[in-house]
């Protein structure tokens, strides 16, 4: 039996961030599989724009609902995400078995950072004849550093990459130079004297940037995030926090 091929392609923040390597790989694909969170999913529209540049059709797959009830228990969160991934595997398997050929998954930013696509495709490979490769994309931390014309870490100091969910636990554990992804509604309480370099929708026309002392710019960040969301219907933010 001929194996279906899957290409996992990092696309940065969309058409303007697609590397030449990824664009060439996309042209070898027969179709793109993309999750559709709603009938008017704005992120699906961006994936369609990337696919259209190579004249590749998009197969939109309704994204399974994820349990977002937050008890604060990390075990509950991991279980909810695992169940969500399994439901995605079920949905994508049906498409791949029906269509075969070479399929592409277009991943925001880079597939190695806070994205589930590689894990999902690994599970698909356990269920069916499937070969896959991964090509990197421009990540959110890279764009953040470039937009603010900065280095993510001082000399001799590491940068810790985490999520908003884990931020305060990581700070309590001693982290003092922290890049936060999956920002959600950032809880910056107790960090008033820290410095922040924040961005939303980096690389898009709706991009917003704010930098300064947390206590001085927290409200400005809220306003900027609202502006980004009003422009395109979504806001993906990333930020660097550094202790005084």
Tokens of 163: 């999520």
Mean pLDDT confidence for 115-125: 95
Start and end residues for every CATH 3.40.1010.10 domain found in the chain:
4-135
Q: What percent of the chain has pLDDT over 90?
A: 74
CB count, 10 Å around CB of 45? 15
**Per-residue confidence band for 43, with pLDDT thresholds at 50, 70 and 90:** confident
Start and end residues for every CATH 3.30.950.10 domain found in the chain:
140-242
- Predicted pLDDT at 39: 73
DSSP assignments along 158-210, one per residue: --EEEEGGGHHHHHHTT--EEEEES-SS---TT-TTSEEEEEESTTSTT-EEE
**Per-residue confidence band for 182, with pLDDT thresholds at 50, 70 and 90:** confident
- Predicted pLDDT at 2: 80
pLDDT in tens, 83-112: 777 888 999 999 999 999 999 999 999 999
CB count, 10 Å around CB of 200? 24
CB count, 10 Å around CB of 138? 21
- Predicted pLDDT at 138: 96
DSSP-assigned letter for residue 210: E
- How far is Cα of residue 193 from the mean position of the Cα atoms in its chain? 28
Length of the chain: 244
pLDDT in tens, 53-84: 899 999 999 887 766 565 555 566 677 777 77
CATH class of this structure's domain 4-135: alpha beta
pTM of the model: 0.87
Q: What angle do CA 109, 114, 118 make, to 5 degrees?
A: 85
Residues 34, 58: Cα–Cα separation, whole Å: 7
Architecture of domain 140-242: 2-Layer Sandwich (3.30)
């Amino acid at each position: 039996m001929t194996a279906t091929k899957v290409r996992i392609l990092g696309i940065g923040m969309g058409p303007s961030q697609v590397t030449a390597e990824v664009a060439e790989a996309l042209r070898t694909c027969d179709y793109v599989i993309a999750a559709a969170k709603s009938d008017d999913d704005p992120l699906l529209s961006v994936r369609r724009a990337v696919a259209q540049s190579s004249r590749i059709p998009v197969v939109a797959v309704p994204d399974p609902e994820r349990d977002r009830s937050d008890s604060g228990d990390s075990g509950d969160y991991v279980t909810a995400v695992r169940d969500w991934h399994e439901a995605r595997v079920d949905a994508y398997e049906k498409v791949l078995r029906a269509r075969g050929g070479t399929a592409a998954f277009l991943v925001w930013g880079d597939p190695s950072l806070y994205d589930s696509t590689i894990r999902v495709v690994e599970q698909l490979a356990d269920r069916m004849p499937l070969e896959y490769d991964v090509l990197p994309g421009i990540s959110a931390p890279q764009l953040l550093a470039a937009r603010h014309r900065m280095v993510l870490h001082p000399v001799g100091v590491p940068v810790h990459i985490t999520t908003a969910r884990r931020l305060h636990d990581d700070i309590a554990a001693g982290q003092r130079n922290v890049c936060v992804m999956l920002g959600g509604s950032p809880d910056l309480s107790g960090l008033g004297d820290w410095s922040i370099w924040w961005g939303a929708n980096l690389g898009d026309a709706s991009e917003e940037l704010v930098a300064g002392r947390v206590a001085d710019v927290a409200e400005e960040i809220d306003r900027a995030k609202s502006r980004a969301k009003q422009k395109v219907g979504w806001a993906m933010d990333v930020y660097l926090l550094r202790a005084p």
